[in-house]
Chain A
Amino acid sequence: MLDINHVGKTYPNGVRALDGVSLTVNLGEIVVVVGGSGCGKSTLLRLVCGLDAPTDGSIRLDGTLISAPHERIGIVFQEPRLLPWLSVARNVGFGLEDRPRPERTSRVAAQLARVGLSDKARVWPRELSGGQAQRVALSRALVTRPEVLLLDEPFSALDAFTRVDLQDHLLDLWADQRPTLLVVTHDVDEAIVLADRILVMRARPGRVQEEIVIDLPRPRDRQSAAFDFAKRRVLNALDHSLDRRARAGDAETVLDEGAARWW
């Protein structure tokens, strides 16, 4: 169980990125965080994976305080961040360096087969398409079998078709080991496809505005009325979270985007 308890983060430049965020995520649950830009959702993930330390509050995984990167917590970033000097297979095996070679090889091979990239094992990362690279990044995070997998806008740089593809693929992979997923996105469709629970955050300081439970059965039909209904709820909450920023006078475009989707 991942327990985020009254976490706040103030950056050295004085920006209060997060304020009093509390969240409990059960093992195997998929929680998606949405919100306008600057609402601290990426900061939250950086704290959970131990890259940054919270200014106040605490993050615990099964009671263990997380203050540095932890072996049971993996992360996939917005960019694949593959190491360009390692082949695809060695990128995937990057976190298995301490395992004996036969185990490493077989786990990497199995993982690559799982994401349908066995034929790319020996190529350089530069030879992959965006979607393939992100699948490799996903494999690199999953091959160590983390209990918690964090995803920071993992598909936002991909085209719409590839994105939908990878969302389904992610759910597929999730069903294998059922890790806890904590996903940050600004794509409402993506949030509804993936989430058991959606947290809508608002900015300045970043905090949770609303929690929406999505209890549609999986696999979810993106065209169904229930999906649309859920989407409307989330968009509504998003507009709520943004209007205060709009009144503050500098987020009109974000509001427009929400409104456009709403209509």
Chain B
Amino acid sequence: MTASIDDSPVQIAPKYRLGRWTRPALGLLLPLALAVFWELAVRFGLSNGRLVPPPSVIFTTFSDLWQTGELQAHAITTLWRVAAGFACGVAAGTVLGALAGYSGLLHRLVDPTLQALRSIPSIAWVPLFILWFGIFEASKIILIAVGVFFPVYLGVMGAVISVDRKIVEVGRVFRLSAFGMIRRILLPAVLPAYVIALRAGLGLGWMFVVAAEFLGASQGLGFLLVDGQQLGKPAQIVAAIVAFAILGKLTDWLIVAATTPLLRWQDVYGAAHQDS
């Protein structure tokens, strides 16, 4: 009997407990109310809706772009840039972060330079990257990779440094090699922080792809934004923004979904409200 009580997940005080569907629905309340309000405001002529198109116009633009296949083409271009830049940034950030966290010598050698570079707003690199790598894909992907690199590097380095000494000692007592120590102790220990670093990196990747596509792109959601501005089509801009939001949330969710099974062991406060 007691076991069944212990096994049940941590429960929030009963009066705050909402149904399975009411809880997510609560979060939708505010945006939906605003959308309905604006739609009605335009319908009743309180605003002409030219600069701030009502939801129905945005939806029509979105579905038009979708039906012509334009939206998908732009989205795929952007997605590919983010994926390539993210992969490069994560690879470099993970390796350098792990090394700088593991070895005191490497930390002293590498970290000051990287911290100095980190304080440069990454957009400031754009002119240089264009000179170096041209205005086509390479410079864009590198810019994204730079944006992704720093949060990942910082996250991994910080996490490795702060791995509990007591756990590391367990590895030492069992005479793990350097490789074994990394594989069996350090990597699993930093995994929760690593996931957060990846998500932060991905967020910046999406930010930087817009910046990259503002500079002379003829494809991509960022191009759709610029195009909408130049041709005075606010609905297209908002449609592109919506597409960014969907893709950003979707890719973030992918990271979470892929790593959740690896993190079930965690004994954390967050376990109680992960589903909210």
Which residues of A pack against B, CB within 8 Å? 49, 51, 68-71, 74-75, 77, 79, 81, 83-86, 94-95, 97, 124-126
**A51 and B171 alpha carbons, distance in the complex (Å):** 11
Q: Please tell me which one of the listed residues B173, B174, B184, B267 contacts residue A84 in the complex, with CB atoms under 8 A apart.
A: B267
Tell me if A81 and B175 are in contact (CB < 8 A): no
State the Cβ distance, A223 to closest chain B Cβ, in Å: 31
- Asked if B166 is an interface residue, CB under 8 A from chain A, the answer is yes
Residues of A near B264 (CB, < 8 A) are: 124
Q: Which residues from B are CB-within-8-Å of A97? A: 180, 184
Q: How many A-B residue pairs have CB under 8 A?
A: 46
20 A-B pairs with C-beta separation under 8 A? A51-B169, A69-B172, A69-B173, A70-B175, A74-B173, A77-B166, A79-B166, A81-B167, A81-B169, A81-B170, A83-B167, A83-B170, A84-B265, A85-B265, A86-B188, A94-B174, A95-B174, A97-B180, A125-B265, A126-B266
- The listed residue with most B CB atoms (<10 A of its CB), out of A49, A68, A84, is A84
B contact residues vs A (CB 8 Å cutoff)? 166-167, 169-170, 172-175, 180, 184-185, 188-189, 191, 264-267
In Å, the complex CA distance between A51 and B120 comes to: 42
Identify the closest chain A residue to B7 (Cβ). A127
Which of A75, A124, A126 makes the CB contact (< 8 A) with B173?
A75
Interface SS of chain A: loop
Q: Which residue of A lies closest to B262 (CB)?
A: A85
CB distance B174 to A69 under 8 Å? yes
Q: A49 contacts which chain B residues (CB < 8 A)? A: 173
A195 to chain B, nearest CB (A): 24
Residues of A within 8 A of B191 (CB): 85
Chain B residues closer than 8 Å to A85, beta-carbon distance: 188-189, 191, 265
Query: Of B169, B180, B185, B265, which contacts A126 at CB under 8 A?
Result: B265
Residues from chain B with a CB closer than 8 A to the CB of A51 are: 169, 172-173
Nearest-CB distance from B4 to chain A (Å)?
Answer: 14
Contact status B266-A81, CB under 8 Å: no
Report yes or no: B174 in contact with A81, Cβ–Cβ below 8 A: no
**Chain A residues near B172 (CB-CB < 8 A):** 51, 69
**B166 engages A124 (CB within 8 Å):** no
Contacts of A69 in B (CB 8 A): 172-175
Beyond the given A68-B175, A70-B175, A86-B188, please list 6 additional residue pairs across the A-B interface where CB-CB is below 8 A.
Answer: A81-B166, A81-B167, A83-B167, A83-B188, A126-B265, A126-B267
